[in-house]
A and B are shown apart, each in its own frame.
Chain A
Amino acid sequence: MATATVILLDGLAYGMVLFIISVGLTVTMGLMRVVNLAHGGFAMAGGYLAAMMIRAGVPFFAAAALATLAAGILGGIAEMTVFRPLYRKGELAQVLMTFGLTFVFIAALTWLFGTDVKILPIPSYLAGPVDLGFRTYPTYRLFLIVVGLLLFLLVWFVIEGSLYGARLRAAVDNPRMARAVGIDVNRLFTITFVIGCALAGFGGVIGAEMLQLDPFYALRYLVLFLVVVAVGGLGSFKGSFVAAITLGVVETAGKFLFTDIAAFLLFALVFVLLLWRPNGLLPPKSVA
């Protein structure tokens, strides 16, 4: 029983990390429909920045906030320069551009910080174990679960339910027509991209305990992010949340129970889920 609880917690924590780190991609790729392979790059940039600041003595949460902001600004700049001409060019051009951008990210971080793993120290009050009564458990993982939940509620209320969300979907569906009903599409996209990249940066910081930072981060975990967004249903926060938790818990339990087939678990699960629900677990209304 105790073990089951721990496995469940582990699964939840892992799922939350997946969610936290992918939620930004749900914004840029899910909502804005930009095939944003550079998502990991923004996350990584956020993580590196926070690591640097913490090393320089900035407190953890301040560093996380600043890094989130910085990743957002970086995203804003990227949006106005290289992404804006991209929206009308189709998916393949977007693949090429964001792949190139990712390469540049990797090279830049290698150049600035070398190839080593960068440690992002977590504050001591989160670093230790807590006593659950029947055994101890890493505090940080509980923290991850809480942060994941809060983040989900936040984005859900802000984006899914609001007129902002509807405007954004309108602009993505048909930018020409969105302009014709008075939506400032350019500004809307810039803001949204900033949000997406800020979320990426935030994920890079908060998730660094599990998804360790090194320059190759941008590509190493990319598939993981894509999986969550696709299984959840493109552009659905509820979907990516459910997908992340499902994948996290099922994979963790599977690894514990059947170590032999651990390697196949995640993608076998993805395969089955997507064949079962090609539009994702909880797709947006218009495709359900």
Chain B
Amino acid sequence: AETVKVGVIGVFSGGFARWGEQFKQAIEVFQKHHGKVVNGNTIEIILRDAGGPDPAKARQLAEELILREKVQFLAGFAFTPNAMAVAELITEAKMPTVIFNAATAVITRRSPYFVRVSFTLPQVSAPIAVWAPKNGIKKVVTVVSDYAPGHDSEQTFIKVFKANGGEILESIRIPLSTTDFAPFFERVLQQKPDAMFMFGPGGPPSVAMINTWASRLKPAGIQLVTTNETQAIDLPKIGRAAIDAIGSSNFTEIIDTPLNKRLRADMTAMFGPDQVPDVATVGTYDGLQLIYMTVAKLGPRPNPDDVMKFWTSGLKWESPRGPIAIDPKERDIIQGVHLRRVKEVDGKLINVDFEIVPDVKDPWKEENK
């Protein structure tokens, strides 16, 4: 029996520490479900803190994990730049690397040793752009945070929305440093669209954006279309302002797959009533599933190329979010996308799915073959 080391690079401190907390909780729940031993080999998970989007630090940690800790797998990555920064390194070191969260489409093309189990931004932005024009949303103003992920989802939405007969009235990019969103939303109000498509940076600004929508645009009958902004974990913070917001996500927390039910129950049992599984949770959970499968199949010291061969062999498995698969060619995830609306049920805010688009591949890769 040997020890298999998995280095997880996350963000456990600073302004984005919430991501790290989710990684950590998911890891603990997963270990409760599956133990720490696979075929007699102990799986040891080593957490490393990049402190935020800090590519140089991520790269340094990756080097250390590879060279000093001699890990068999790298994993984690909340932020795209951190993932991108290790691409060259993992290629050279032949280090199989599982992305738990970072969602910019292009990442997996940067190294043949990347595989992603989270989602891509185009993947969750496209289905809702198909749905909207068919459901009375013809004119839209897009409002996204002015950084790469925002651009990614804006571009996808606009392209697909237009292709499906919609009209974009204006595209606004909001600086990341914004604290008061009112002037931007007043501008949206002036355009009188049917809906606003929104992508925020998560955390406090996203909460503020939805609040501003509720107080200014919703009374004027302008709907809110978003991707992952209305996660169950955030809903209590946004409050009733979130009601009626339309979302498009690779994971709706209350779906009743058996695995998700168990995950949910254990999360609340272990970490308190406020803790619910989230996109980052299932990303982490499935990442570990993949690693455990790999060790079970290839043993504790697999050849990296064998690992990649295994990962590109058309893998499919059951995630808390439902069935998922790995695209053998792109090493990116294929999964269902949930279209949903925030409702208040029994005094609790929840996302209610109204459509699940199955087996969505990353549209960006489809387009940029």
Interface on A for B, CB 8 Å cutoff? 3, 6-7, 10, 13-14, 17, 110, 114-117, 119, 121, 129, 136, 138, 210-216, 219-221, 224, 252-253, 255-256, 259, 262-263, 266
Contacts and interface: CB of A to CB of B under 8 A. Distances in A.
B190 interface: yes
A3 B208 contact: no
A114 B177 CA distance: 23
B53 interface: no
Contact of A262 (B178, B234, B236): B178
B186 A219 contact: no
Given A10-B183, A252-B183, A214 B204 contact: yes
Contact of B204 (A13, A212, A259, A262): A212
Interface in B160-174: 172-174
A256 B179 contact: no
A263 B179 contact: no
Nearest to B220: A135
- Main SS class of interface, B: helix
A284 to B, nearest CB: 28
Given A117-B207, A212-B207, A10 B182 contact: yes
B64 interface: no
Contacts of A214: 15, 203-204
A211 B15 CA distance: 14
B180 A252 contact: yes
5 contacts: A10-B180, A14-B179, A219-B15, A252-B180, A259-B173
Interface centre among B21, B203, B204 (most CB of A within 10 A): B204
B14 interface: yes
Contacts of A10: 180, 182-183, 186
B215 interface: yes
B360 to A, nearest CB: 29
Interface in B188-232: 190, 203-204, 207-208, 215-216, 219
B17 interface: yes
Interface of B: 13-15, 17-18, 20-21, 146, 172-180, 182-184, 186-187, 190, 203-204, 207-208, 215-216, 219, 233-234, 236-237, 239, 274
- Residue of A136, A213, A262, A266 contacting most chain B CB atoms (<10 Å): A262
Contacts of A224: 179
B180 A14 contact: yes
B215 A138 contact: yes
B18 A7 contact: no
Contacts of B187: 256, 259
Contacts of A253: 183
Nearest to A17: B180
Nearest to A221: B179
B58 to A, nearest CB: 19
Contacts of A115: 17-18, 20-21
B15 to A, nearest CB: 4
Contacts of B179: 14, 210-211, 221, 224
B182 A14 contact: yes
A116 B18 contact: yes
B17 A215 contact: yes
A221 B15 CA distance: 11
A263 B183 CA distance: 13
Contacts of A262: 174-175, 178, 184
A3 B178 contact: no
Given A110-B17, A262-B175, A117 B204 contact: yes
Given A117-B203, A216-B15, A255-B183, A263 B21 contact: no
Given A210-B180, A252-B182, A262-B178, A3 B215 contact: no
